[in-house]
């Protein structure tokens, strides 16, 4: 019997013992091609010698010094590196332990900015339905995933939710991209008017939607309209690139593909690439300066933030991303993955949509392609895909509820940036029968 209180008490998890490039090996010697990168984390695979050496070296020098007394060399160097590649003006960095904490920090920093900017009436956060920003209470309150929110609803502070940009299901057949973006922009602006523009604090969105909607990029022009509206009414724009940032979509920052600069940009996952747990918020200097010149201190912090060994690991990861041309590689391999997914699934009777960018892709599974009718949630198609894939030596990231938190099944793919072309063949060769087996089981019900 295990003493670990695992996520799902009904599952006997294999014991992962070793990593080798894009593979995880369990205690029975089974090899799993990691097509999910853990959860869009392990961009350099599982055994990068340079990153491991950098962490070891830092541990020998100094593992940890609390940030209320000291800064550290790796924290300073990592902040310099992040600032040097950041969108214009975003040259301050707040460290966190993971994605949820980065989002929590961004929400609190937005509020502190309002106080320091002399606008204490600004407190209302607007986010999107079908989003995910983390599982801590503030991040969960911002998130719009009904399934994840429901059990904790009585504990969540009220926030406002507008429509996501989910073209496959929510863009009308005759609606142009411009008209769709405009409709969503109007909904945001109407919401701000309803709240009262002076009370609205920030709009939060994933630049490319991650696990909940499944690799859904916005239609062109959507984020520019959002930025204009935030500027017009004095809201901060907080972009969550915890999953889609730091190269995953084929740009260092996904917001540059949308032509916008946010006020706060949340990062995690690929920042430490699984070698260390670490998150960060890139802060526009306009926000940082407002705090610095008023209260002078951000009234927030956690014991392990800016952990020296974590920063050393993330620094080595981010140097590798830059020095080894990883962002270009994501674009190349992304084309390779997209073309294989299209070749294999474009006419598949149960794949309704193939969407994504860079090395972040999703197959949305449907019962009927023509009507987009989803599978009955009771059949748990997503869970079966995960099981069938693991039986075949593949980890992918299937999720339920992309339509409304309950209905809809999709399979998210986020392989390591180091993935090789033959491994993309292996990915598709294992995924296709796993999907077919899962659907056959659902149809027998």
Ligand X SMILES: Cc1ncc(COP(=O)(O)O)c(C=O)c1O
**Interface residues toward ligand X, by CB under 6 A:** 39, 98-100, 103, 132-134, 206, 210-211, 240, 242-243, 268
Distance CA 98, CA 283 (A): 16
In the complex with ligand X, which residue's Cβ is closer, 46 or 233? 46
Question: How many residues can be counted in the chain?
Answer: 445
* Residue 369 CB, nearest approach to ligand X (Å): 28
* Residue 76 CB, nearest approach to ligand X (Å): 23
Distance CA 70, CA 371 (A): 59
In the complex with ligand X, which residue's Cβ is closer, 340 or 355? 355
Is the Cβ–Cβ distance between 279 and 266 less than 8 Å?
yes
In the complex with ligand X, which residue's Cβ is closer, 208 or 419? 208
Q: 349: which residues sit within 8 A by CB, 6+ positions away?
A: 369
Residue nearest to ligand X (CB): 99
In the complex with ligand X, which residue's Cβ is closer, 90 or 254? 254
Whose structure tokens read 């959507």? 222
In the complex with ligand X, which residue's Cβ is closer, 36 or 442? 36
Torsion angle, CA of 382/385/391/393, rounded to 10 degrees?
-100
In the complex with ligand X, which residue's Cβ is closer, 133 or 386? 133
Is the Cβ–Cβ distance between 144 and 164 less than 8 Å?
yes
* Residue 289 CB, nearest approach to ligand X (Å): 26
In the complex with ligand X, which residue's Cβ is closer, 41 or 341? 41
Q: What angle do CA 133, 146, 404 make, to 5 degrees?
A: 110
In the complex with ligand X, which residue's Cβ is closer, 398 or 426? 398
Surface-to-core class of residue 343, CB atoms within 10 Å of its CB (0-12 exposed, 13-18 middle, 19+ buried): exposed
* Residue 269 CB, nearest approach to ligand X (Å): 6
Is the Cβ–Cβ distance between 144 and 138 less than 8 Å?
no
* Residue 310 CB, nearest approach to ligand X (Å): 13
Whose structure tokens read 């099981």? 387
Q: Which of 181, 279, 295 is nearest to 229 (CA)?
A: 181
Transcribe 372-405 into DSSP letters: TBPPPGGG-HHHHHHHHHHHTTEE-EEEE-TTTS
* Residue 106 CB, nearest approach to ligand X (Å): 10
Q: Is 270 helix (H, G, I), strand (E, B) or coil?
A: helix
* Residue 191 CB, nearest approach to ligand X (Å): 21
CA 270 to chain centre: 9
Is the Cβ–Cβ distance between 191 and 161 less than 8 Å?
no
* Residue 151 CB, nearest approach to ligand X (Å): 17
Distance CA 139, CA 135 (A): 6
* Residue 139 CB, nearest approach to ligand X (Å): 6
In the complex with ligand X, which residue's Cβ is closer, 195 or 242? 242
DSSP strand E in 268-408: where? Answer: 279-283, 351-357, 360-365, 394-395, 397-400
In the complex with ligand X, which residue's Cβ is closer, 54 or 266? 266
Whose structure tokens read 């969550």? 240
* Residue 118 CB, nearest approach to ligand X (Å): 30
């Amino acid at each position: 019997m295990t003493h670990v209180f695992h996520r799902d008490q009904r599952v006997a998890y294999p014991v992962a013992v070793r990593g080798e490039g894009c593979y995880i090996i369990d205690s029975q010697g089974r090899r799993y091609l990691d097509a999910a990168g853990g959860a869009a984390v392990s961009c350099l695979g599982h055994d990068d010698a340079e990153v491991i050496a950098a962490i070891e070296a830092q541990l020998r020098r100094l593992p940890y010094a609390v940030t209320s007394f000291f800064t550290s060399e790796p924290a300073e160097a990592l902040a310099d590196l992040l600032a040097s590649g950041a969108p214009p003006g975003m040259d301050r960095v707040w460290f966190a332990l993971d994605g949820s904490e980065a989002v929590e920090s961004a929400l609190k920093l937005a509020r502190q900015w309002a106080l320091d900017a002399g606008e204490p009436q600004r407190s209302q956060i607007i986010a999107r339905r079908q989003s995910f920003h983390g599982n801590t209470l503030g991040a969960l309150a911002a998130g719009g995933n009904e399934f994840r929110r429901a059990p904790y609803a009585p504990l969540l502070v009220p926030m406002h939710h507008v429509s996501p940009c989910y073209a496959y299901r929510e863009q009308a057949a005759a609606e142009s991209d411009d008209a769709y973006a405009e409709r969503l922009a109007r909904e945001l602006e109407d919401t701000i008017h309803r709240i009262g523009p002076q009370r609205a604090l920030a709009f939060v969105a994933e630049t490319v939607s991650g696990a909940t909607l499944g690799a859904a990029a916005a239609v062109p022009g959507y984020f520019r309209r959002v930025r204009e509206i935030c500027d017009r009414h004095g809201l901060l724009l907080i972009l969550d690139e915890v999953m889609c940032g730091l190269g995953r979509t084929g740009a260092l920052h996904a917001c540059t593909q949308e032509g916008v600069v946010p006020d706060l940009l949340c990062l995690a996952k690929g920042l430490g690439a699984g070698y260390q747990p670490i998150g960060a918020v890139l802060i526009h200097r306009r926000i940082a300066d407002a705090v610095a010149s008023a209260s002078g201190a951000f009234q927030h912090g956690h014991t392990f933030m800016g952990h020296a060994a974590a920063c050393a690991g993330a620094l080595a990861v981010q140097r590798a991303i830059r020095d080894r041309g990883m962002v270009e590689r994501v674009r190349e391999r992304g084309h390779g993955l997209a073309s294989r997914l299209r070749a294999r699934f474009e006419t598949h009777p149960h794949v309704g949509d193939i969407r994504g960018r860079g090395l972040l892709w999703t197959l949305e599974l449907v019962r009927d392609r023509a009507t987009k009718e989803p599978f009955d949630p009771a059949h748990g198609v997503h869970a079966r895909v995960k099981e069938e894939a693991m039986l075949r030596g593949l980890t992918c990231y299937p999720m339920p509820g992309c339509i409304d938190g309950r209905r809809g099944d999709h399979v998210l793919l986020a392989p390591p940036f180091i993935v090789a072309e033959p491994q993309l063949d292996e990915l598709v060769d294992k995924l296709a029968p796993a999907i077919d087996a899962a659907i056959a089981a659902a149809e027998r019900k």
